[in-house]
Structure formats: C-alpha cells, structure tokens
C-alpha cells in the first residue's frame, strides 16, 4: 500500500484550521462542508453523504505540532461524539507526551554532539605534536618519531617510569593520525581485578555469567576504527595475554559467553614501566606477545635525565593551575634553580603535584623557593626530593621509606589510622601511582583502591 504525501498550509481546510486555532473540530456531514478539501480521499462528493469527520490537535508545550483526524460513517459508529472526542483527546495527549520526550532527547543529543565536537577539537589542539613540551634533544627526537608513527597503524610500545607522560604521547599519536575523529579509549591493566579485565576488554553476551543481564560491548568494540591504549601492560594476567595476542594477529575478538568471532579495526598502543625482557625470561610475560607489541618501542627518559624540560613544563603546568584555581600564578627565577636540583622520582606527575601544592599554600601570586618544603630542608610530602642537606636528613628519608610494610606486616591488621598512614606513605613514594603502591604494599589494585575510598585519601589531580 502506497502512502500519499499530503501537505496543508496553516488555516487551509479543516486540518489547517485546527492547526491554526488549536481547537478540536467536528463535522457532522462532510458532504455539506465546503472547507473539507478531501485531499486524503478524493472522489465523488455524493459518496461523502452521512460521513462525519473529527479533528484533534496534538500539542507540545502548548504549541500544535500535529493533527489527529478520524473519518467515519455515522450509522456504523456506536460512540457518541463526546466519547469519540474524549478518546482522540487521550490519544493526542499520549502522542504529545511522546513528542515532548522526543524533543527533550533530541535537544540533549544535539547538545552532546556539540559538546563532543568541541571536546574533540580541544583535545586535538592540546595534543598536537607541537604542543607537547620538549626542549630536551632526546624528547625532540621522540616527537619526530611520533609524528611519523601517527601516519601509520603500527602497534607502539611506550616504555618508561611512572609519570613520564606515556599516556600524553599515546594521545599525541592518536590525535595526529587518521583515526583522530574516532574514539581514544585508555584502560589500566593493573587497576582492574583479574576477574573483570577480560569482560572490560572483550565484552560479554547476555547470560554469560551471573549478573550478565544484557549484552555488553567491550573496549575493543567501543574503540572501533579508533585507538585503544593499554597502560601497565606488564600487569596483564598470562591467560589474557594469549587472547590479546589473537587480537593482534587476527584482528578479531570473541565476547565472553559467545562463540562468534567479531572483526575489530583498532590501533593498539601499549605502555609499561616494567622490564618486559626480564618478565619474558622468568615466564611471566609471553615472548610472542612481547614481539607483537614492540613492533616500535619508544623509551621515554625520566625527568631527572631531561632537566632542561623542567622550566618549560613548569610554565605549562602553572598556566593550567592558574585556570584551575582562578589565580594568575607566576614563578620567581630563583625558584627554577630549586626545581632543577630535584631528581623528581615521580617524574612529570610529581612535578605537577608539587607545583599544585605550592599554588594552594602560596601567600602571593609569585612562587618563591620558600613555598616548597625542600627549600627549608624538609622532606617533600609528595615524594623523595634530592639533594639532602646532610647525612642525617638522608638517613631519616631512608628510614621513612623502609617504614612502608610488606604484605605480611600490612595484614597483621593495623589500626585504621596506622593503615591509612601506611597507604599514604606508599602513594607518596610512588608518585601516587596506585598500581605501584599496591605492589609495594603486597596488595591488589582493587584492595588499595577500596582503602583509598574507605579512608577518604585525597589523590592530587594529575
């Protein structure tokens, strides 16, 4: 059956009049009504004898957005006109409510689309190669390599200490590639419990396990035609390493509880701060996966080996902090000398945390050496700072480091305040990397994450 395409001008015919006035109209006999245009059912006017027509407006926010019309033979209808009007009015209200919800959803979707476009443009701007801070010659060479890598789909392994900026470089690769308008999804392999990481990466079918009430797409599917960043790849369980190897080889995944392989078009960038060669030797990391991941391996030097980046990084970080804290912060020249003396074991992450702490507690808009604890010979509250003023201070720092317990000590059930202090010490020592702090304490990432929430431990923004 073909549906005719009809249109009415406002005020044209009965339908147009209802649209203009917003009031219902009832025509007892359409054969006697000159304004009835018969656009829907054209034919002999005599055939319309004894046929009635009722027209009801559909409203959204008091505005007419549509019309419901019903044509019927009087002798075949058991309803009264009032009953029929009431019925159509009920239908009209239901449609109006549906239009109302649709309008809200459409407005929200348009807002989300606009915001997504804005955020993507902002991300693309922030992660342009030229916007990544690199004064150091070694870092400049890395950025040149990244610019070339961005034009390919080759798998990249980023290596270096925690806090050196591996995720920043991963984003730079993505947002300078042909995939920049697609998703960039980051997942920390150490932060998720072993029982959940497979479901997060590959998804699951409905009924795959208790609680799987509906189908869920995994990160690989969600990152389709985009990039997936696997941070802390060295902490991935051996069993899952075999499945990741299949993704790299065959470019396909299988959801938990499913048996149908799904093709995926996704670029993989992995990162680790661990010695994968040593892990391959002792059997805790698959050799075949190691070679698949390290098609191109980039080592990011720690901040202590590229101190010429510190002034530029400091200026960049302070610009962000000024916006975040609504203060126009500058830095005194002599403060740069202090920052250049530090070894920054927590790398760029620690530098940012240290600067934010100084911004919060500084009395003026210019950061002076006195705004940093290490300038007064005190131990930095965020991580170990060198050089030490004397041997006594150095021994005190070592003593503080060794106060972090082993698994045996931690599970001797210390008092809550003691346990909180132990976790805070471990977080500071590791530059607030939860995965490393968990290993230091002999805990799992999930256990330390639970205690951070339990004791309301504040993690500085990175």
Cβ atoms of 186 and 174 closer than 8 Å: no
Report the pLDDT value the prediction gives residue 388, as an integer from 0 to 100: 40
Report the pLDDT value the prediction gives residue 269, as an integer from 0 to 100: 96
- Kindly state the average pLDDT of the residues 176-203: 88
Which tens digits make up the pLDDT trace of 113-133? 766 656 665 655 566 777 788
* Domains of the chain, CATH where assigned: 13-101 (3.30.450.40), 129-301 (3.40.50.300), 304-400 (1.10.8.60), 403-454 (1.10.10)
- Is this model's pTM higher than 0.75 or not? no
Report the pLDDT value the prediction gives residue 179, as an integer from 0 to 100: 93
Which tens digits make up the pLDDT trace of 164-184? 999 999 999 999 999 998 999
Whether the predicted pLDDT of 413 surpasses 60: no
DSSP, collapsed to helix, strand or coil, labels residue 291 as: helix
Smallest Cα–Cα separation from 410: which of 382, 451, 381, 379?
Answer: 451
Burial 418-454 (b: 16+ CB within 10 A, else e): ebbebbbbbbbbbbbbbbbbbbbbebbbbebbebbee
Q: Kind and range of the H or E element at 187?
A: strand 184-188
Which tens digits make up the pLDDT trace of 440-460? 777 778 788 888 888 888 887
Report the pLDDT value the prediction gives residue 45, as an integer from 0 to 100: 56
- Kindly state the average pLDDT of the residues 92-112: 76
């Amino acid at each position: 059956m073909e549906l005719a395409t009809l249109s009415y001008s406002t005020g044209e015919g009965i339908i147009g009049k209802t649209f203009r006035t917003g009031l219902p109209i009832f025509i007892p006999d359409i054969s006697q009504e000159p304004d009835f245009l018969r656009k829907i059912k054209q034919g002999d006017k005599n055939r319309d004898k004894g046929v009635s027509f009722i027209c009801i407006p559909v409203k959204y926010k008091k505005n007419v957005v549509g019309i419901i019309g019903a044509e019927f033979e009087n002798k075949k209808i058991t309803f009264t006109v009032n009953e029929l009007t009431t019925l159509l009015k009920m239908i009209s209200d239901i449609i109006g409510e549906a239009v109302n919800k649709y309008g809200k959803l459409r407005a929200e979707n348009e807002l989300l689309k606009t915001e997504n476009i804005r955020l993507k443009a902002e991300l693309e701007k922030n992660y342009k190669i030229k916007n990544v801070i690199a004064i150091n010659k070694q870092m400049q060479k890395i950025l040149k390599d990244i610019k070339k890598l961005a034009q390919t789909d080759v798998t990249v392994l980023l290596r270096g200490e925690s806090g050196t900026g591996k995720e920043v470089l991963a984003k730079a690769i993505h947002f300078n590639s042909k995939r920049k308008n697609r998703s960039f999804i980051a997942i920390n392999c150490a932060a998720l419990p072993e029982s959940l990481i497979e479901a997060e990466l590959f998804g699951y079918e409905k009924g795959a396990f208790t609680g799987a009430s509906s189908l869920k797409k995994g990160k690989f599917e969600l990152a389709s035609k985009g990039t997936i960043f696997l941070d802390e790849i060295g902490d991935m369980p051996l069993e899952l390493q075999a499945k990741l190897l299949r993704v790299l080889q065959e470019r396909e995944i299988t959801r938990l509880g499913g048996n149908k392989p799904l093709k995926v078009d996704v670029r993989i960038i992995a990162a680790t701060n661990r010695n994968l060669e040593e892990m391959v030797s002792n059997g805790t990391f698959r050799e075949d996966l190691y070679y698949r991941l390290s098609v191109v391996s980039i080592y990011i030097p720690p901040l202590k080996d590229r101190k010429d980046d510190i002034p530029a990084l400091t200026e960049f970080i302070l610009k962000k902090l000024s916006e975040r804290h609504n203060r126009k912060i500058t830095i005194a020249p002599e403060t740069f000398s202090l920052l250049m003396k530090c070894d920054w074991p927590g790398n760029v992450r620690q530098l940012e945390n240290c600067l934010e702490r100084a911004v919060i507690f500084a009395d003026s808009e210019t950061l002076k050496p006195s705004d940093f604890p290490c300038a007064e010979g005190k131990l930095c509250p965020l991580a170990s700072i060198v050089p030490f003023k004397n041997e006594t201070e150095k021994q005190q720092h070592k003593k503080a480091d060794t106060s972090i317990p082993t698994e045996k000590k931690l599970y001797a059930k210390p008092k809550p305040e003691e346990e909180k202090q132990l976790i805070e010490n471990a977080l500071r020592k590791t530059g607030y990397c939860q995965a490393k702090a968990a290993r230091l304490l002999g805990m799992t990432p999930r256990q330390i994450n639970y205690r951070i929430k339990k004791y309301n431990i504040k993690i500085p923004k990175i």
